[in-house]
Chain A
Amino acid sequence: MDDIAIIGYAQSPSQRRAELTEPQFLFPVISEAIERANVERRDIGFTCAGSCDYLSGQTFAFVMNLEAVGAWPPISESHVEMDGAWALYEAWVRLQHGDIDVALAFGSGKSSPGDPSEIYPLQLDPYTLTPLGADPVSMAALQARAMLDKGTITEQEMAEIAVRSRTNAANNPYAQVRGSGDVDTLLREPYVTAPLRRHDLPPISDGASAVVLATADKARAVCERPVWIRGIDHRIEPHQPGMRDLTESISTRQAGRHAGIDHGPVEVAELSATFSHQEKLLREALGLGDEVQVNPSGGALAANPVMAVGLARIAEAARAISERGVSRALAHATSGQCLQQNLVCVLEGA
């Protein structure tokens, strides 16, 4: 595959309830990403968006988001009903043709108008699981329980992950849940859905993220320090929770292998671990040792703008390289409940 680089990225601050509409808060994010990329809007040869009708509560919600792009004169454009990370994947595929040199991917979501515990059961098998009303927290609790029973995590470790996320988020202007708090205090809190406590759960967030990609020649021409996509892959697992070993993430491992994570040491990993225990599980699936800095941004426990959060991980991993001098980082995005589908993207500087 041809090397493609990230040359610009931007995010909106994650908010519990955004005052603006989705296209309105996307608008400055896309503009900022393009500006940082040092390209003109008309240079963009392909645009791909990620968003979700059910989150917005409106059919064809993505159509309005097109207004934030500036689709006049007409543009070459596509949309996935998936996290923006998959929009980036489609843009990366499109750039492989070599006939265009710049592409834009973005993701956006406004979770505040709806109730996640009512909406997400619709993501499950409509015949056997949706009628049970299994919500993401209950599903994640099953997964955490399985890990606890297997002895691959403790509630103490889960709280430690949450504390580290919040501490890291203190320096992230886009994060929503910041601050310190100590493990013992958190562990004295009651369960929300046993064995999960409030700190094990992600916040409900509204937000957007955008990334600008370029082919190698273009990237070198416009960007001082391009961040190279060395590999990107995504895989899915069976849907029925009973068909899976919830204490492992086989599809993450597969995606990581295909993305080539073992071609060199990883310094930073930005993981879409929306529940604390999933960070441990993903670390193991990706073979990340203690030397790897995980979620220096605070991760999804600090800000969870659904449909933008995975792409935000890619933006954060790129930031670690271009702004903090990290040489190799990986980003992870997920879809479905209990990490059913996973994407891994390996990034490198120079």
Chain B
Amino acid sequence: MSRPAAIVGIGQTKHKKRRDDVSLPGLVREAAQRALDDAELGWTDIDAVVLGKAPDPFEGVMMPELSMADALGAVGKPIMRVHTAGSVGGSTALVATHLVQTGIHDRVLTVAYEKQAEGNAQWGLAGGRSGGMGAGGIFAPWMRSYMARAGAPEHIGWMVAVKDRRNAAKNPYAHLQMPNLTIDEVKDSPMLWDPIHWHESCPSSDGACAMVITTEDGAARSPHPPAWVLGTAMRSELGTFPGRDPVRPQAGVECAHLVYEAAGIRDPRQQVDIAELYVPFSWYEPMWLEGHDIAGPGEGWRMVESGETQIDGSFPVNPSGGVLSSNPIGASGMLRFAETALQVRGRAGEHQVPDATVGLAQAYGGAAQYFAMWVVGSTLDAVDQKR
């Protein structure tokens, strides 16, 4: 069985370096309460909760769904905890969506978070050892490979950084607020992992995101326009083996084609109005444009250069400011999913892309090996309207 599912409530916290004004349950509840308020639903209306976050050692709390059960209103209900590395926020939203689509539950609350300041993620990633480089050190050689393969000039990365930070300035929840960041400032910022400069890297944030997902009936009762889930897909591949291509991972290619097919999209560049892609380092914007066959080989960086991915371009990418502007790791994927829903609902405020009716969200994780995607629309036939 598969029935339509809709997003009727979206909430997120203000993302910050350090949310020391709230506890862990306080942080997730802030996002969840906002999602419920948006849907004009109460805690008792919720049938089940799906929680996602990145590794437990980041905060030092093992299986946090146990200690947060009360704060999430889950007592007496089913609650699950998803963990698929960086893609987790996306996978978590998909698990929640599947619970509605399959008819198991009618109203599911899904929440993802990270409170990085509560622990030390760099230490966690390095396994407590010296010489750790964080995710940037792993990904940097692949970005260099992309540049060589696609013949991309180095200023592309700087352009992405400036675009996302300026978009973030229109998003009051975004962590980094840099409305006046310039190309020169990005270029002149310290080099962290060649080719990634300081301003081309994501921050470390505390934050949470939540959504309420429901049925057609639930959507009909929603006080605000719903966003409809038109397609979902997940794909994973091995992280290391001789001959693997981590620049254009096969799992990412397949995941994209699966989600396009599910949503009835033949030409994503024409039929998608806005994309929220997981771009923790600037170069991943052109890499995913090509890696998800939105652009042809060597065309991704040209889309960036020509301004197509700007908020007023023909294919806006990350109008929210993206992961480059807010990175509460476990929530970063769900924020991509939630932002596309906000856009097709017409509720994205200052960073709203006019008349957006079809949105594509993507989250990835591990050694660029875990992918989760969805396509959402303002109506169930939003993609057909674009034929």
A residues bordering B, Cβ < 8 Å? 1-2, 52-54, 58-60, 62-63, 66-67, 71-82, 86, 89-90, 93-94, 96-99, 119-120, 122-127, 129-130, 233-240, 243, 250-251, 254, 335-337, 340-341
CB < 8 Å: which of A93, A124, A233, A236 contacts B99?
A: A93
Give 18 pairs: A residue, B residue, CB < 8 Å, sorted on A: A52-B63, A59-B57, A63-B239, A63-B369, A66-B369, A72-B241, A74-B250, A75-B237, A76-B235, A76-B236, A78-B91, A81-B82, A93-B104, A97-B2, A123-B67, A237-B69, A337-B66, A341-B79
Contacts of B67 in A (CB 8 A): 123-126, 129, 239
Shortest Cβ distance from B58 into A: residue: A59
CA of A179 to CA of B61, assembled, Å: 38
- Which one, B70-78, B157-165, B267-275, B280-288, is touching chain A? B70-78
Contacts of B81 in A (CB 8 A): 80-82
The answer to whether A122 and B61 touch (CB under 8 A), given A67-B238, A79-B82, is: yes
Q: Does residue B254 face the partner (Cβ distance < 8 Å to A)?
A: yes
Q: Does residue B39 face the partner (Cβ distance < 8 Å to A)?
A: no
Find residues 71-115 in chain B having any chain A CB closer than 8 Å to their own CB.
74-85, 91, 95, 98-99, 101-104
The answer to whether A1 and B103 touch (CB under 8 A), given A52-B63, A60-B366, A236-B79, is: yes
- Contact across chains for A75 and B235 when beta carbons are under 8 A apart: yes
The answer to whether A236 and B254 touch (CB under 8 A), given A75-B235, A96-B103, A97-B1, is: no
B234-272 vs A, CB cutoff 8 Å, 1 = contact: the mask equals 111111010000000111001100000000000000000
CB < 8 Å: which of A52, A126, A129, A235 contacts B77?
A: A235
Contacts of A341 in B (CB 8 A): 65-66, 69, 79
On chain B, the number of residues with a Cβ less than 8 Å from chain A's Cβ atoms is 59
CB < 8 Å: which of B65, B77, B238, B255 contacts A66?
A: B238
Q: Does residue B188 face the partner (Cβ distance < 8 Å to A)?
A: no
Shortest Cβ distance from B94 into A: residue: A78
Contacts of A54 in B (CB 8 A): 56-57, 62
- Contact across chains for A89 and B80 when beta carbons are under 8 A apart: yes
Give chain B nearest CB distance to A318 CB in angstroms: 21
- Contact across chains for A340 and B236 when beta carbons are under 8 A apart: no
Give chain A nearest CB distance to B110 CB in angstroms: 13
The answer to whether A74 and B235 touch (CB under 8 A), given A52-B63, A97-B98, is: yes
- Contact across chains for B69 and A239 when beta carbons are under 8 A apart: yes
CA of A79 to CA of B75, assembled, Å: 23
Contacts of A62 in B (CB 8 A): 83
Q: Does residue B23 face the partner (Cβ distance < 8 Å to A)?
A: yes
CA of A122 to CA of B24, assembled, Å: 14
CB < 8 Å: which of A60, A74, A126 contacts B61?
A: A126
Shortest Cβ distance from A254 into B: residue: B76
CA of A266 to CA of B86, assembled, Å: 42
Contacts of B24 in A (CB 8 A): 126
- Contact across chains for B95 and A90 when beta carbons are under 8 A apart: yes
CA of A60 to CA of B224, assembled, Å: 38
Give chain B nearest CB distance to A340 CB in angstroms: 6
Give 16 A-B pairs besides A123-B61, A236-B78 with Cβ atoms closer than 8 angstroms.
A1-B103, A2-B1, A52-B62, A53-B56, A54-B56, A66-B238, A76-B234, A82-B81, A86-B80, A89-B80, A122-B61, A129-B67, A234-B78, A235-B77, A239-B67, A243-B70
Contacts of A239 in B (CB 8 A): 66-70
Contacts of B85 in A (CB 8 A): 60, 63
CA of A336 to CA of B83, assembled, Å: 17
CA of A336 to CA of B81, assembled, Å: 13
B18-45 vs A, CB cutoff 8 Å, 1 = contact: the mask equals 0000011000000000000000000000
- Contact across chains for A81 and B56 when beta carbons are under 8 A apart: yes
- Contact across chains for A122 and B62 when beta carbons are under 8 A apart: yes
CA of A96 to CA of B67, assembled, Å: 30
CA of A67 to CA of B240, assembled, Å: 9
Contacts of A72 in B (CB 8 A): 237-238, 241
Contacts of B125 in A (CB 8 A): 59
CA of A335 to CA of B124, assembled, Å: 24
Contacts of B55 in A (CB 8 A): 53, 59-60
- Contact across chains for A73 and B250 when beta carbons are under 8 A apart: yes
Give chain A nearest CB distance to B283 CB in angstroms: 22
- Contact across chains for A80 and B235 when beta carbons are under 8 A apart: no
Contacts of A80 in B (CB 8 A): 80-83
Contacts of B250 in A (CB 8 A): 73-74
Give chain B nearest CB distance to A336 CB in angstroms: 4
- Contact across chains for B23 and A59 when beta carbons are under 8 A apart: no
CA of A59 to CA of B238, assembled, Å: 17
Contacts of A99 in B (CB 8 A): 2
CA of A139 to CA of B367, assembled, Å: 39
- Contact across chains for A78 and B84 when beta carbons are under 8 A apart: yes
The answer to whether A251 and B366 touch (CB under 8 A), given A63-B85, A72-B238, A74-B235, is: no
CA of A42 to CA of B83, assembled, Å: 24
CA of A81 to CA of B103, assembled, Å: 24
The answer to whether A97 and B63 touch (CB under 8 A), given A81-B81, A235-B76, A236-B77, is: no
CB < 8 Å: which of B63, B77, B241 contacts A335?
A: B63
CB < 8 Å: which of B61, B95, B237, B367 contacts A93?
A: B95
Query: Which 5 A/B pairs are nearest by Cβ-Cβ distance?
Result: A96-B102, A74-B251, A59-B55, A77-B236, A74-B237
CB < 8 Å: which of B56, B60, B102, B237 contacts A97?
A: B102
Contacts of A74 in B (CB 8 A): 235-237, 249-251, 254-255
Give chain B nearest CB distance to A73 CB in angstroms: 7
Contacts of A234 in B (CB 8 A): 78, 80
Shortest Cβ distance from A125 into B: residue: B67
Interface-central residue, A53, A81, A130, by most chain B CB under 10 Å? A81
Find residues 98-156 in chain B having any chain A CB closer than 8 Å to their own CB.
98-99, 101-104, 124-125, 127
CA of A72 to CA of B237, assembled, Å: 6
Give chain B nearest CB distance to A65 CB in angstroms: 11
Contacts of B63 in A (CB 8 A): 52, 81-82, 123, 335-336
The answer to whether A93 and B66 touch (CB under 8 A), given A126-B60, A251-B76, is: no
Give chain B nearest CB distance to A15 CB in angstroms: 23
- Contact across chains for B80 and A96 when beta carbons are under 8 A apart: no
CA of A186 to CA of B33, assembled, Å: 52
- Contact across chains for B57 and A53 when beta carbons are under 8 A apart: yes
Find residues 200-225 in chain B having any chain A CB closer than 8 Å to their own CB.
none
Shortest Cβ distance from A94 into B: residue: B98
Contacts of B56 in A (CB 8 A): 52-54, 81, 122
